[in-house]
C-alpha cells in the first residue's frame, strides 16, 4: 500500500510521494479507459480506514488513516475529473458504521486490518451498489428470456 512506508519493495520508511501516486493512478486509469466498451465505466474503490489504536506499517492507526485520507482525497479529485469513473467510497461507508475515529468495530478484526465476515459482506454490498446501476440495461438483456 502506498501509505505503508517501505511497502511494495520500497526502502524502509519511504512512502510513494502523493504526486507520484496520482501519476501512477492516472496511468492505470488511462490503460483501463482504453479497454472499456463504449459507454463503459471504471469503478474506483477508496482505501478503507483502520482502528485508530491498531499499528499498521509501523505507524499508529491515526497516522495511517491520515495518509489514507490524503491519498483517497487526491484519487477522488482525479476521479472527479474523468467522466468514465464511478466511485465506491468504502472509506466513508466503513466510517458511517464504525465512526470517524474508532478503536474497535465489528466490521474489522480486532487484531489486524482485515474485515470480519460481516465486514466483507458489508463492503461487497457497498461496491455492488456502485456497480449495479452500470449493469442495468445489459443485466436486463442477459436475464430476460426472449419469448419469441
pTM score: 0.84
CB atoms within 10 A of CB 11: 7
* pLDDT given at position 79: 96
Sign for the CA dihedral angle at 121, 123, 128, 129 comes to positive
Cβ atoms within 10 Å, residue 46: 21
- Lookup: cell for 22: 496520482
What is the chain's pLDDT, residue by residue, as a tens digit (148 residues)?
Answer: 677 777 667 776 677 889 999 999 999 999 999 999 988 999 999 999 999 888 887 788 888 899 899 999 999 999 999 999 999 999 999 999 999 989 899 999 987 789 999 999 999 999 999 998 888 766 667 666 665 4
| Distance from C-alpha of 92 to C-alpha of 47, rounded to nearest angstrom | 9
What CA–CA distance (Å, rounded) separates 92 from 138? Answer: 29
Amino acid at each position: 500500500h502506498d501509505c505503508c512506508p517501505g511497502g511494495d519493495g520500497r526502502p524502509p520508511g519511504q512512502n510513494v510521494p502523493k504526486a507520484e501516486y496520482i501519476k501512477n493512478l492516472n496511468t492505470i486509469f488511462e490503460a483501463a479507459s482504453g479497454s472499456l466498451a463504449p459507454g463503459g465505466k471504471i469503478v474506483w474503490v477508496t482505501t478503507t480506514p483502520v482502528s485508530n489504536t491498531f499499528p499498521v506499517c509501523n505507524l499508529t492507526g491515526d497516522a495511517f488513516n491520515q495518509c489514507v485520507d490524503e491519498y483517497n482525497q487526491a484519487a477522488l479529485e482525479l476521479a472527479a475529473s474523468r467522466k468514465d469513473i464511478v466511485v465506491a467510497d468504502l472509506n466513508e461507508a466503513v466510517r458511517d458504521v464504525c465512526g470517524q475515529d474508532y478503536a474497535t468495530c465489528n466490521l474489522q478484526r480486532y487484531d489486524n486490518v482485515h474485515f470480519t465476515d460481516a465486514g466483507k459482506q458489508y463492503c461487497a454490498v457497498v461496491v455492488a451498489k456502485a456497480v449495479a446501476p452500470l449493469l442495468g440495461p445489459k443485466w436486463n438483456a442477459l436475464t430476460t428470456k426472449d419469448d419469441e
